[in-house]
Amino acid sequence: MNAQFWLIQTFNGLSYGALLFLVGSGLSLIFGVMRIVNLAHGSYFLLGGYVALSVIWSTGSWVLAIPAAALAIALLGLVMERLFLRPLGFDPLRQVLLTVGFAFLFQQAALDIWTGNPFDINPPAALSRSIVVGGLHLPVYRMFMIGVALVIGLALWLTMEKTRLGATIRATVDDAQMARGVGINTSLISTLIFALGALLAAVGGVIGGAFLGVYPGLDFEMLPIAFAVVIIGGMGSLGGAAIGALIVGLADNFGKALFPEVSYFTLYAPMALILAVRPTGLFGRE
Amino acid sequence: MTNKLPEKLASRTALFVCAAAAALVLRPLPAAAQQELRIGVIAPVTGIFAQVGADMTNGFKMYLDQTNSTFAGTKVVPIIEDSQAKPDLAVTKARKLILQDHVQMIIGGVLATEGYALAPVSTELKTVYISSVAAADDLTQRQLGKYPYFIRTGWSSSQPDHPFGQWACDKGYKKVVTIGADYAFGYESVGGFQKTFEDCGGQIIQKIWPPIGTKDFGPYIPTIKADADAVFSLMVGPMALQFPKQLRDSGFTKPILGGTVSYDEAALPFMGDEAVGDVSALQYSAALQTPANAAFVKAFRAKYGKVPSYFSETNYSTAMMIDDVMKQTGGQWPGPEAFLAKLQALHVDTPRGPVSFDDMRNPVQNIYIKKVEKTKLFGYDKPELWNVVIRTYPNVSQFWTYGKDAFLKQPVYSRDFPPCKYCE
Amino acid sequence: MSAARIKILAVAAVLAAAALIVPHTNSFIILLATRAFAFSILVMSVDLLLGFTGLASMGQAAYLGIGAYLTAILATRYHIGLGWDFWLVLVLAMLGSALLAALFGLLAMRASGVYFLMITLALGQCVWGLAYRWNSLTGGDNGINLSQRPKFGIDLADEATFFYVVFVLFALSLIVLYTLVHSPFGRSLTGIRERELRMKVLGYNTWLHKYLAFIVAGAFGGLAGVLWAHTAGIVGTDDVVLTTSVDALLMVVLGGAGTLIGGVIGAALVTFVREYLSTLVHWWQYVLGGIYVLVILYLPGGLMSVPQRLREWRTASGAADKGVVMPAPARGAG
């Protein structure tokens, strides 16, 4: 276990964590603002990947695929929120179960539309290389994933902290009734956040599609991981999602590398323990 | 009293619905026609293995289409049931097929769990069960005695890996690291390779077991020992796509030896150029340059839009085998025991080559060592990734060269067997 | 007769009819009915938690798993449970699951709401991971095959006999749970579901109530597991996978949470669609998903609330005809 080993594992853990941040941030926002546990989030992730594939197949452009998929899934999220979740009012359990019902529908629809073959999203050649630094082979794509997560994280943070819109959102999160009292259109904010959450998941799916693949079952595989991120970091906290993503990425990576015997538990055992000790997650608020 | 009316209405409606449902489920099922061969096909039609199920049923259906669904004058009625790759559903559907639909045989099952679940049903209900895909070793080895109505037309998990280990040793590899999916199928494939490789003088110096469904091999790749000459991988489904890519991205340049399904045509067309040069071993390659296979591949691709994987070929050749038996009996169903005996006695020329059966009802067939190349084959105009055959081992049984009794004395391949004597 | 009395009689009548008719249908129907009734025991335990205590747990399949694996391991390795000792195994399974629930409950009860959901999910996944990895005990992903059903005076290998045994145990579970939820303990649970703070203020040890409910649910999950193992004849990791827990939850909501029998209706419906409809059409997933979505959207009380909805609709429209404005009926009544 020399220095190289630790460096590459840290790098791998960071890049995996970056992907998890993309998936988890949307989930965290949705819960923070709307108190909805969106179990269709994994579906948004996967559908983002599938839509990107369709765009790439028809136009050949990977660059175009990212915004196209993001907007398409954001639209899907918007429709789902407006037409299906909104009418339920504030009923967390039914909302959760409604999202599950949709997750099943999405899974079957994706199978019917795109077949069940396993796909890969192929990024441009420039991103598919590896660069050698000090004897370490660092895939450029992993660095790209870290970059994207940083940019998006920064953009989200700046929006939340420095813009009027961000202040409005934060007000809605803190106290929806007061926010309504000062004239904030909280229902519009809710829809916006849900669509944004879906968008982030879709971007994760496109970016992740080159790394994890796009295949049936990925939606329900990503879901518990996304939840681990959000739970550990704390629901409703963007910074928490970032920390959670880092922790899960690194812990999962090092756990599997150092203790391969318990690979099946490296995700859930820490999650259960953290929740047992701090039920709202490390930075969560209730 | 008025309160009761809506309830009465509701209960009447409920009663009506129940009656309708009862009528639906109690309707007499058509008795099996005299000259009909009813075959139950159990495959995942929905769920995450749906594509595998589609590949399986398409292969089977293609043979039926080519013979107009008639075997030796007898009409063949295939009944496809969705197991969703869940063993308890597979059992439920199998019982339905046998007890309600009066099928003469059931075919299918994908996962080892399904195979292990369906085999006892065949024993209990005295119906032929042909496993065209489910490859768990012990079904035709130490456990065969429990399943007198069971026969395999596909393969056993370790069957292709035995010659592969020999080939790797002959090629000059001395130290190999194995990385295989952490479940029974992975253990059996790696075990088969390890046994012959080490018996020939090679050394397995490390065994890595990523959980099934692993997407990020980042944690495992840097732990691969530097003095390995090659890596033996056993990757299933989407894992097969990601592993070679991630391994090459990490700067690993040594050869990858892919066990069984790691480079099968269910995954290969979706891989990239990083797979070129990787070698694997299986009883089928779509690139097999024989007239029978060329015809099969071209017909399948024209009809279903993809190069056939072994899932399709094995079901196609199973249909062919059933046809051959029916030809011997003049189209009459000879009863399960006689059918099995005749099937076991067959020598068939299938798209994968010549197939016969050993006395444990597992196929004896060619194993192809194949190498991924980007080339044009069968008259297609674009260069694509194909598993070009570089070496054929004929007449490979599930016991390789060990002899049945010697082989059965050792335990079934597991995570700890063969033990990793040279693990550093 | 009171509405409650009518309901009980109606339910008893339907169940009795099912018990009488099913064995005279065909093998497939008997098998499906057996599966539905066995799984219903788990579903009712989920309803105990969800509908009566207000705890949404996504990890109840773990207890089904304990019961099922225990049955399978005892039967195949030690040949225990295939005779009169079947009843011993039943009791052991319930105790084993209750024990696990007691252990998990200590961790899970620290959380509430969505965090409770998550922690039960994580704990359930740990059981799944254990089942997968502990090859020597559980058979790993190959699972364990039970080669025969128990024989004690009657031979459970006969499908009709086995159906009756499952049905009787189901009916007993229903009666026990019904009595429980209508007992003072049960009413406290309902009170906790509605207003936990008030219950605390009134001096109830709400934590203990919830904990006990969790253990009882676990015990019934174990019972379901024993029957589940013998119904399918195989036990594997699919029994403890996440979707099994989610299925149970969905069945409760589909049928109507807080009614016990609602979960049974949900289980019957889902079993029918998933295992019977799937033999007829391949787009059954859309039917199932569609049913979930529609019921959740438009029938908050599940399918069991249909009679009440009809009643309300009738009274409202009847009153409108007479020109009387009716106030909206109180929710949660009946």
| Residue B153 maps to a domain | no
- Confidence category of residue A196, pLDDT binned at 50, 70, 90: very high
pLDDT per residue over A69-104, tens digit each?
Answer: 999 999 999 999 999 888 887 777 788 889 988 998
- Residue where one domain finishes, among candidates B308, B323, B351: B351
pLDDT per residue over B375-413, tens digit each?
Answer: 999 999 999 999 999 999 999 999 999 999 999 999 999
Contact of B245 with chain A, judged by CB distance below 8 Å, is answered with yes
Neighbour subunits, A (≥3 Cβ pairs < 8 A) = B, C
pLDDT per residue over B199-233, tens digit each?
Answer: 999 999 999 999 888 889 989 999 999 999 999 99
Q: How far is CA C43 from CA B22, C93, C118, C265, C292, in A?
A: 24, 17, 19, 10, 16
What pLDDT does C319 receive? 58
pLDDT per residue over B111-169, tens digit each?
Answer: 988 999 999 999 999 999 999 999 999 999 998 999 999 999 999 999 999 999 999 99
Sorted by where each starts, the structural domains of chain A and their CATH numbers stand as: 15-126+146-277 (1.10.3470)
Task: Compute the mean pLDDT over every residue in chain B, rounded to the nearest whole number.
Answer: 90
Which H helix or E strand runs over B38?
Answer: strand B36-43
Percent residues over pLDDT 90 in chain C: 44
Residues B254 and B394 in one domain: yes
| Residue B145 maps to a domain | no
Scanning C134-258, the segments in alpha helix (DSSP H) are 135-138, 159-181, 184-194, 196-201, 206-232, 242-255
Beta strands in C61-153 (DSSP E): 144-145, 151-152
Contact of B254 with chain A, judged by CB distance below 8 Å, is answered with no
What pLDDT does B383 receive? 94
Evaluate whether C126 touches A268 at the Cβ level (below 8 Å): yes
Contacts of A96 in chain C (CB under 8 A): 56, 114, 117
What pLDDT does B369 receive? 96
User: How would you classify the pairing of strands B105-108 and B128-131?
Assistant: parallel
**Shortest CA gap B111–chain C (Å):** 9
Interval A38-50 mean pLDDT = 94
Percent residues over pLDDT 70 in chain B: 92
Here the tokens at position B285 are 């390659």
Q: Which of B11, B96, B211 shows the shortest C-beta gap to C279?
A: B96
Please answer yes or no on whether B271 and A218 come within 8 Å at the CB atom. Answer: no
Residues B194 and B338 in one domain: no
- Confidence category of residue C281, pLDDT binned at 50, 70, 90: confident
- Confidence category of residue A285, pLDDT binned at 50, 70, 90: low
**Shortest CA gap C278–chain B (Å):** 7
Evaluate whether B274 touches B244 at the Cβ level (below 8 Å): yes
- How many domains, in total, are found in chain B? 2
Compute the distance between CA of residue C152 and CA of residue C162 in angstroms, rounded to an integer: 12
Residues B302 and B276 in one domain: no
Please answer yes or no on whether A93 and C50 come within 8 Å at the CB atom. Answer: yes
Q: Which of C6, C143, C274 shows the shortest C-beta gap to B113?
A: C143
Strand order in the sheet with B70-71: B70-71, B74-82, B36-43, B105-108, B128-131, B150-152
What ipTM is given for this predicted complex?
0.88
Cα angle, residue B202 at apex, residues B196 and B206 outer, rounded to 5°: 100
Which H helix or E strand runs over B82?
Answer: strand B74-82
What pLDDT does A238 receive? 83
What pLDDT does A284 receive? 65
B295 pLDDT exceeds 90?
yes
Compute the distance between CA of residue A86 and CA of residue A187 in angstroms, rounded to an integer: 9
State the Rg of chain B over Cα. 23
Compute the distance between CA of residue B361 and CA of residue B353 in angstroms, rounded to an integer: 18
pLDDT per residue over A99-130, tens digit each?
Answer: 988 998 999 999 999 998 999 998 888 888 88
What pLDDT does C333 receive? 38
Locate tokens 């054929």: which residue?
B392
Task: For residue A113, count CB atoms less than 10 angstroms from its CB and return exposed for 0-12, middle for 13-18, buried for 19 or more.
Answer: exposed
What contacts C54, CB < 8 A, 6 or more positions away? C192, C193, C194, C196
Please answer yes or no on whether C126 and A100 come within 8 Å at the CB atom. Answer: no
Please answer yes or no on whether C289 and A108 come within 8 Å at the CB atom. Answer: yes
Interval B272-286 mean pLDDT = 95
B319 pLDDT exceeds 60?
yes
**DSSP 8-state code for residue B210:** P
pLDDT per residue over C234-265, tens digit each?
Answer: 999 889 988 899 899 999 999 998 888 999 99
Evaluate whether B312 touches B59 at the Cβ level (below 8 Å): yes
List residues bridging with B370 in a β-sheet.
B280, B389
Please answer yes or no on whether C119 and A37 come within 8 Å at the CB atom. Answer: no
- Confidence category of residue A272, pLDDT binned at 50, 70, 90: confident
Evaluate whether B201 touches B421 at the Cβ level (below 8 Å): no
Residues B217 and B172 in one domain: yes
- Confidence category of residue B342, pLDDT binned at 50, 70, 90: very high
Task: Compute the mean pLDDT over every residue in chain C, rounded to the nearest whole number.
Answer: 88
Contact of B242 with chain A, judged by CB distance below 8 Å, is answered with yes
Please answer yes or no on whether A88 and C250 come within 8 Å at the CB atom. Answer: no
- A27, A30, A111, A264, best to mutate vs chain C, most C CBs in 10 Å: A264
- C277, C293, C294, C331, best to mutate vs chain A, most A CBs in 10 Å: C293
- A37, A85, A90, A97, best to mutate vs chain C, most C CBs in 10 Å: A97
A197 pLDDT exceeds 90?
yes
What contacts B302, CB < 8 A, 6 or more positions away? none
Contacts of A261 in chain C (CB under 8 A): 133
Domain span holding position B167: 161-288+366-409
| Residue closest to A93 by CA, chosen among B7, C266, C110, C117 | C117
Please answer yes or no on whether A111 and B46 come within 8 Å at the CB atom. Answer: yes
- Confidence category of residue C48, pLDDT binned at 50, 70, 90: very high
| Residue closest to C109 by CA, chosen among C214, C264, C179 | C214
Please answer yes or no on whether A119 and B52 come within 8 Å at the CB atom. Answer: no
Q: Which of A266-275, B83-92, B160-169, C123-132 has the highest mean pLDDT?
A: B160-169
Q: Which of A243-257, B278-292, C150-164 has the highest mean pLDDT?
A: B278-292
Compute the distance between CA of residue A132 and CA of residue A117 in angstroms, rounded to an integer: 33
Please answer yes or no on whether A224 and C296 come within 8 Å at the CB atom. Answer: no
**Shortest CA gap A158–chain B (Å):** 31
Contact of B11 with chain C, judged by CB distance below 8 Å, is answered with yes
Residues B259 and B123 in one domain: no
Residues B124 and B168 in one domain: no
Does C224 or C312 have the greater pLDDT score? Answer: C224
Please answer yes or no on whether B113 and C236 come within 8 Å at the CB atom. Answer: yes
Please answer yes or no on whether A264 and B211 come within 8 Å at the CB atom. Answer: yes
What contacts A38, CB < 8 A, 6 or more positions away? A27, A30, A31, A99, A194, A197
Here the tokens at position C179 are 């009595």
B160: helix, strand or coil: coil
pLDDT per residue over C296-309, tens digit each?
Answer: 888 888 888 888 88
Contact of B47 with chain A, judged by CB distance below 8 Å, is answered with yes
- Confidence category of residue C334, pLDDT binned at 50, 70, 90: very low
Q: Which residue of B has its CA nearest to C239?
A: B88
Sorted by where each starts, the structural domains of chain C and their CATH numbers stand as: 3-301 (1.10.3470)
Evaluate whether A202 touches A30 at the Cβ level (below 8 Å): no
Q: Which residue of C has its CA nearest to B99?
A: C27
Here the tokens at position B29 are 């099922």
Contact of B226 with chain C, judged by CB distance below 8 Å, is answered with no
B89 pLDDT exceeds 50?
yes
CB atoms within 10 A of CB B395: 10
Neighbour subunits, C (≥3 Cβ pairs < 8 A) = A, B
What pLDDT does B28 receive? 46
Residues B165 and B229 in one domain: yes
- B12, B24, B25, B125, best to mutate vs chain C, most C CBs in 10 Å: B25
Residues B253 and B393 in one domain: yes
Q: Which of C121, C243, C293 shows the shortest C-beta gap to A101?
A: C293
What pLDDT does B18 receive? 52
Residues B100 and B169 in one domain: no
| Residue B63 maps to a domain | yes
Residues B215 and B301 in one domain: no
Q: At B136, which amino acid appears?
A: A
Does A275 or C126 have the greater pLDDT score? Answer: C126
What contacts C244, CB < 8 A, 6 or more positions away? C61, C64, C238
Please answer yes or no on whether B215 and A254 come within 8 Å at the CB atom. Answer: no
C65: helix, strand or coil: helix
B149: helix, strand or coil: coil
What pLDDT does C139 receive? 83
| Residue closest to B354 by CA, chosen among B284, B265, B401 | B284
| Residue B7 maps to a domain | no
| Residue B207 maps to a domain | yes
Q: Chain B window 333-372: which residues touch C at a Cβ cutoff of 8 Å?
A: none
Interval B248-253 mean pLDDT = 90
B8 pLDDT exceeds 70?
no
What pLDDT does B304 receive? 94
Q: Which residue of A has its CA nearest to B223?
A: A257
Here the tokens at position A82 are 């407006």
- Confidence category of residue C39, pLDDT binned at 50, 70, 90: very high
| Residue closest to C166 by CA, chosen among C176, C153, C156 | C156
For residues A42-64, one letter each, b for 16 or more C-beta atoms within 10 angstroms of the residue's C-beta and e for the rest, the string is: bbbbbbbbbbbbebbeeeeebee
What pLDDT does A198 receive? 94
Q: Chain C window 40-69: which residues touch A at a Cβ cutoff of 8 Å?
A: 50, 56
**Shortest CA gap C172–chain A (Å):** 29
Contact of B236 with chain A, judged by CB distance below 8 Å, is answered with no
Locate tokens 């999602």: which residue?
A241
Q: Chain A window 121-160: which residues touch B at a Cβ cutoff of 8 Å?
A: 122, 128, 130, 132, 137, 139, 141
Residues B281 and B299 in one domain: no
Interval B294-316 mean pLDDT = 95
- A46, A218, A256, best to mutate vs chain B, most B CBs in 10 Å: A256
Interval A169-175 mean pLDDT = 79
Assign residue B71 the CATH number of its domain.
3.40.50.2300
Contacts of C284 in chain B (CB under 8 A): 46
Contacts of B213 in chain A (CB under 8 A): 217, 221
Please answer yes or no on whether A117 and B51 come within 8 Å at the CB atom. Answer: yes
**Shortest CA gap C113–chain A (Å):** 9
Q: Which residue of C has its CA nearest to A91?
A: C300
Residues B112 and B256 in one domain: no
